[in-house]
Amino acid sequence: MSIETPVTVPLPADTTAAGPPKRAEGGVMSRPRGVVVTVIVALLALAWLFPLVWAVVNSFREYEYTQANGYLSFGGWTTANYEQAWTQGNFGLHLRNSLLITIPAVVLTLWLSSMVAFVLARFSYRFNLTLLGIFLAANLLPPQALLIPVFRMFREIPLPFFMSDSGSMLNSFWGLILVNTAFQMGFCTFVLSNYMKTLPHEIYESAELDGASVWRQYWQLTMPLVRPALAALATLQVTWVYNEFFWATVLIQQGDKLPVTSALNNLRGQFFTDTNLVAAGSVIVALPVLVVFFALQKQFVSGLTLGSTKG
Amino acid sequence: MVTMAATRRSVLRGAALSGLAVGSASLLAACGGDSGGGASGSGTTVKFGMNEAEGSGPAYDRLKAMAAAYTKETDTKVDMNAIDHNTFQENINTYLQGAPDDVFTWFAGFRMAQFAEAGLITDLSDQWPIDGMDDSFKQAATAGDDKQYFVPASYYPWALFYRKSVFEKNGWEAPTTEDDFMALMEDMQGKGITPIAFGDKDGWPAMGTFDILNMRLNGFDFHMSLMAGEEKWDGDEVKLVFDRWAKLLPFHQEDPLGRTWQEAATSMGKGESGMYLLGTFVIDAVGDAAEDLDFFTFPELDSSIGADALDAPIDGFCVAAAGKNQEAGKAMAKWLGSAAAADAANNGADAPMIAANTGASTSTYSDLQKKSVEVVSAASNIAQFMDRDTNADFASTVMIPSIQEFLKNPSDIDGITASIQEQAASIFG
């Protein structure tokens, strides 16, 4: 399941719910047009949802049954796939790994990028724009292009054995947390600095007059005010870092340290793959993201438009 | 799952804590790993990387049983690192250049020799000969410099599988000559049964068909030098293979590119197809029909070449050159090839493997496995399967799409072979 899917699904659904606008006449969206739009959007939503629903439905069916009768049949219902996926995939351990990677990475990303953003937004240095440009440019680099340099660098960086039993950044959560932080900082800095620029300048002038230090202006003035932005970013970042697959697969070579997205592969055999079992595993892996998304939907949607008005 | 549901509030509070670096540090120190480091007390520790995820089935159980038996026998602690098969294989390059385990599971053939040449795996020639290991297995463990870098553990043959009951009901018999084979397939078609099940959605299963046709039509030696990049892909020999394949295609299931091997196996299991050319792992996908399966090797196509070669990929163990504990790793690798290791593995799992060591007990084997042993011992030449016998990049980026192109458009043999040759020239240099 791609990262974007859960983000995109509710958009058409939202529009559907809004329905045709309540304009009496002559508007851009007259009643017949509204109906057409609703139908089109509903169809699109269905097209988006279909693969997901299909996977969920088949995750509740026996492989033997679907293999013998085809996927268009009806029957063979079971919940055994979920039990088997949970034990065979060892998801308890791998979800814990994901947690140990995601939480520190998100916290670190938000903390560091809020400090950079604060400086970029509140002080005018000659290189402010350049700096922001560099942060953004790094965002455009595909991680695949950096694979070999990062891999070699991490191999050469020694870590004491109590931090990593390989003695280097490879095979340790530290490496993954750092890589995720580095890759997410560009976006967070951009969004946060734009948001901070919208805070009225006068507040800072009065803070200055009251003798607040720069640290205090950051910590006690700016941070409380950007809470909505931080909340939106935190939800986005949790899903992104949690869904991250590439770096974990490359930098972790110890089976019991893989995060849950990579551990999904545990359900595939060398030759034989029980697709219904994999569907059940995918649902389990996707569930935390869906929970985060539905619980914090409001922040999510506001997060999508963050920084889009000023730059 | 539940643990993931960190609320927005707690995440934010975490962000708000100035001492967060300290907080996450202690969080992480807890998962730095449990290894106490290298040697301790009486026994040393060997790190053992295995290409089967924990709890993934008999293959994992066998490796685990081997590790336990080794600890019991030699007082060496074995630190297991279980990674799922596909991830392990795809990451093997970064694995070997990063922080590999001392001993790890791998394959015989070109895939092993490539790493030997690159200096990524350790020379094991001082551990050979291994008791009970035949010459053909020693050959399979030898790289280009005539030294052994590999210890074989098990193998499985590729052959034409069929359901005994279906053959009995129709009065068919396993063919031994090309004429019998063709007659059998025509009879099957006449009775509304697709003669050969076929699926190539994943790209690799059809390589088995190419391998066997090439070995039957051009011989084992040509096949191996073709795989090594020493023969022309656009020569008459390869064209002959594709040509014969095109003639056999009408007897195969149609539209193979839309079908996985599991679906093809199911069609044989249900009796809709008569035979299926695959490895013995076909039994995993046929359900209850597994008991009813039997197989025969692909019949002779050219009497001057015979039918004494087949694909029988060998799995086994290598020692990583970057592993920290070379001597202990070598000793363990040698032991893993012993009859005792094979017996420990087969007694510790529901389904046994076919041991490479001739001294291993065959009492746990199924009928199919007993027959596999006979067939493979009778074969004078054993290939490892295309994706193990040749450059891995060539197999996956050139041969998979080329064979799929051929299956889509069997008439354009000249174009396809020319394109393979062009790409082969750039890969093999």
**Mean pLDDT taken over chain B:** 85
The answer to whether residue B144 scores a pLDDT higher than 90 is: no
- Residue A85 pLDDT: 87
B184 and B248 belong to one structural domain: yes
- The DSSP-derived string for A21-80 is ----SSSSS-HHHHHHHHHHHHHHHHHHHHHHHHHHHHHTB-HHHHHHH-TTS---B-SH
Listed by start position, the domains of chain A span 1-54, 91-304
- The answer to the question of residue B77 being in a domain is yes
- The answer to the question of residue B300 being in a domain is yes
pLDDT tens digits, one per residue of B51-109: 888 877 788 889 999 999 999 988 889 999 998 888 888 888 889 988 899 999 999 98
User: Strands B77-82 and B45-50: what pairing?
Assistant: parallel
B399 and B282 belong to one structural domain: yes
B169 and B230 belong to one structural domain: yes
- The answer to the question of residue B38 being in a domain is no
CB contact under 8 A, A67 and B262: yes
- The answer to the question of residue B242 being in a domain is yes
Q: With an 8 Å Cβ cutoff, is B85 touching chain A?
A: yes
B62 and B178 belong to one structural domain: no
B142 and B207 belong to one structural domain: no
Mean pLDDT of B139-153: 90
B143 and B289 belong to one structural domain: no
CB contact under 8 A, B84 and A174: no
B177 and B126 belong to one structural domain: no
Q: Return the CA Rg of chain B.
A: 24
Chain A positions touching B95 (Cβ under 8 A) are 253
B151 and B163 belong to one structural domain: no
Parent domain of B366: 45-155+314-382
B288 and B410 belong to one structural domain: yes
Averaged pLDDT, groups of 10, chain A, 311 residues long: 41 46 57 88 94 90 81 83 87 91 94 92 82 81 85 87 79 90 89 88 89 90 88 88 88 87 82 85 89 79 61 44
Task: Could you please state the CATH topology (level 3) that the domain comprising A91-304 is classified under.
Answer: MetI-like fold (1.10.3720)
Q: With an 8 Å Cβ cutoff, is A260 touching chain B?
A: no
Contacts of A283 (CB under 8 A, 6+ apart): A55, A56, A59, A82
Confidence tier at B336 by pLDDT (50, 70, 90): very high
- Residue A127 pLDDT: 82
- The answer to the question of residue B135 being in a domain is yes
- The answer to the question of residue B13 being in a domain is no
- The answer to the question of residue B21 being in a domain is no
CATH code of B201's domain: 3.40.190.10
Chain B positions touching A184 (Cβ under 8 A) are none
Q: Which of residues 246-305 of B touch A (CB under 8 A)?
A: 261-263, 266, 270, 279, 281, 284-285, 287
Model pTM? Answer: 0.78
B332 and B369 belong to one structural domain: yes
- The answer to the question of residue B20 being in a domain is no
Quick one: residue B324, left, alpha or beta (phi over 0 = left, psi -120 to 50 = alpha)? alpha
User: Looking at the partner chain, which of A103, A234, A287 has a beta carbon nearest the beta carbon of B8?
Assistant: A234
Number of compact structural domains in chain B: 2
Q: How high is the ipTM of this complex?
A: 0.73
Rounded to 5 degrees, φ, ψ at B43 are: -105, 155
pLDDT tens digits, one per residue of B96-108: 988 899 999 999 9
pLDDT tens digits, one per residue of A223-240: 988 888 888 888 889 989
- Are B274 and B268 contacting, i.e. CB atoms less than 8 angstroms apart? yes
B165 and B149 belong to one structural domain: no
- Residue B24 pLDDT: 38
CB contact under 8 A, A107 and B24: yes
